[in-house]
A and B are shown apart, each in its own frame.
Chain A
Amino acid sequence: MIAALKMFYSTLGRKLVMALTGLFLAVFLLEHLYGNLQLYKMDGGLAFNEYGEFLVHNIVIRTVEFALFGGILLHVIDALFLTLHNRKARPVRYAVSHQAGNSTWFSRNMGLTGSIILVFLVIHLKTFFVTHRFQGVDTSMAQDVAVAFQSNWYAALYLFSMVLLGAHLNHGFQSAFQTLGWNNHRYMKPLKIVGTLFALLVTIGFGSFPIIFYFDLFGVASNILGQ
């Protein structure tokens, strides 16, 4: 038991926390995407609002919500500890370093892409979650989405963040399985392909909302706004 706990203090154990929380958050993205797709039902936002109500009043979902915020917090704090530890492992930098020759930019900058995604997440929660849950705002969620995406900067930030999230996932997904020890000659290629497809699904799936709403493509935005 002590060895099992000690594990989480080691360089390997901390990576394990990153991998497990990362995969958990990735699963949540799928659920979130499913919910968001209700916006495309062309029913004036009814299905989307109902889905939102269902989430709020379901006791299981409300419990999982705690795990979700815990997961985000753990993922962020662990990343911070890892980054600080890794900085200490190389205090003197190279004068000339051509790391592009041995690894991809996104694999080396998970901390940067993660930080930007975190900033987006805070803004995103403030826009939709905090207002409805804690400030007692009782407007139609679907209408709020349509209004939010009329803003240039919010639509642009959303799209930009989803592209970064895709890149973050593209490295993170296969990286998590590598950390869990699932890399061998048989698994790694399919895992990398699945990871890339998942990253594409997230980027294209979530990235479609700002584009479709901002330009009111297929009349989705005006359907919800009742214009």
Chain B
Amino acid sequence: MGDTINLKLKIWRQKNSKESGRFEIYDMPGVNTHMSFLEMLDVLNDRLIREGKDPVAFDHDCREGICGMCSMYINGRAHGMLKGTTTCQLHMRHFHDGETVTIEPWRATAFPVIRDLVVDRTGFEKIMQAGGYVSVNTGNAPDANNLPIEKSKADEAFDAAACIGCGACVASCKNASAMLFLSAKVSQFALLPQGEPERRERVLRMVAAHDEAGFGSCTNTGACEAECPKGISISHIARLNREYLRASLSQE
């Protein structure tokens, strides 16, 4: 023992997207510090179900920091206060005994709350559907080494492709802009020869989808980069700007 702390949880509860929500406070005595944040919520939900109450709805899937499902605004920070971490990889040892932990859903017009801490991230899907792919409609898979790619470009594209689409960039941006997500998805193709044929159309369509989904405009505060669990750089946003400018000016 000695590895437990007592917490007070202030959690946003909301029945559905129509009704307005409110905070509810739950006492969490004896939280094991080796638990992850989601496991701590599992313990709370187990208790709530036993008491015949409604458990707290939250998104989660892989619980190893690669799927991008978990999405909580913990004590005023996306995925909590640790750098480069998703909520599932945040452990209770980083909290103090007696602390009140405030848990909110992502807040953005483009991410409406579905229930409690679950938000609808369809806006990201719309951006991807608009151009986040390469059209390869026929033929066999080409040999991997047929297309020579500079190591530095391959690395840069891979860094962009590390985006797990969790939405922490939108959540932490003061303008609820999805530029970091959008730029990562544009960059991963713009840097590679496979993305070249659809390069211009892609960026125009994806930016249009971004705006239509109701995301805000980037003001270069750098908050997204600081909160991104995958450490995606805002230099990708600059690349997106270049791509967009080039495509807009050169389109016939």
Instruction: Tell whether B238 is near chain A: CB-to-CB under 8 Å.
Output: yes
Report the Cα distance A94→B105, complex, angstroms.
9
Report the Cα distance A93→B108, complex, angstroms.
9
Q: How far is the CB of A116 from chain B (nearest CB, A)?
A: 17
Residues B222 and A103 in contact, CB atoms below 8 Å apart: yes
- Contact check: which of A91, A102, A181, A185 meets B241 at CB < 8 Å? A181
Report the Cα distance A94→B29, complex, angstroms.
26
A6: B residues at CB distance < 8 A: 248
Residues B248 and A85 in contact, CB atoms below 8 Å apart: no
Instruction: Mark A91-110 against chain B: 1 for CB-CB distance below 8 A, else 0.
Output: 11111111101111001101
- Contact check: which of A7, A12, A90, A171 meets B175 at CB < 8 Å? A90
Residues B176 and A90 in contact, CB atoms below 8 Å apart: yes
Q: Name B135-178 residues within 8 Å CB distance of A.
A: 172, 174-177
Instruction: Tell whether B81 is near chain A: CB-to-CB under 8 Å.
Output: yes
**Provided the pairs A12-B207, A181-B241 are in contact, do residues A102 and B216 lie with their beta carbons within 8 angstroms?**
no
B109: A residues at CB distance < 8 A: 88-91
Instruction: Mark A66-92 against chain B: 1 for CB-CB distance below 8 A, else 0.
Output: 000000000000000010011011111
Q: How far is the CB of A220 from chain B (nearest CB, A)?
A: 39
Instruction: Tell whether B121 is near chain A: CB-to-CB under 8 Å.
Output: no
- Contact check: which of A4, A13, A88, A104 meets B251 at CB < 8 Å? A4
**Provided the pairs A94-B73, A98-B75, A107-B219 are in contact, do residues A183 and B238 lie with their beta carbons within 8 angstroms?**
yes
Report the Cα distance A96→B74, complex, angstroms.
8
A92: B residues at CB distance < 8 A: 107
Q: Which of B177, B179, B242, B248 has the most CB of A within 10 A?
A: B248
Interface residues on chain A, size class: 35 or more
Instruction: Tell whether B218 is near chain A: CB-to-CB under 8 Å.
Output: yes
| B contacts with A, residue count (CB < 8 A) | 52
Report the Cα distance A174→B102, complex, angstroms.
35
Report the Cα distance A108→B224, complex, angstroms.
12
Report the Cα distance A3→B223, complex, angstroms.
30
A175: B residues at CB distance < 8 A: 219-220
Q: Name B1-58 residues within 8 Å CB distance of A.
A: 10, 12, 23
- Give the residue name and chain of the B residue nearest to A100 (CB): B76
Q: Which residues of B contact A (CB under 8 A)?
A: 10, 12, 23, 73, 75-77, 81, 102, 104, 107-110, 172, 174-177, 179, 204, 207-208, 210-211, 214-223, 226-227, 234-235, 237-245, 247-249, 251
Query: What are 10 contact pairs spanning A and B, CB under 8 A?
Result: A4-B248, A15-B217, A90-B176, A94-B73, A95-B102, A96-B102, A99-B174, A99-B223, A171-B220, A179-B238
User: Given A11-B215, A101-B81, A107-B222, list of 19 further CB < 8 A pairs?
Assistant: A4-B251, A10-B207, A12-B244, A15-B218, A82-B219, A85-B217, A88-B216, A90-B107, A93-B107, A97-B76, A102-B172, A175-B219, A178-B237, A178-B238, A179-B220, A179-B241, A183-B234, A183-B235, A184-B238
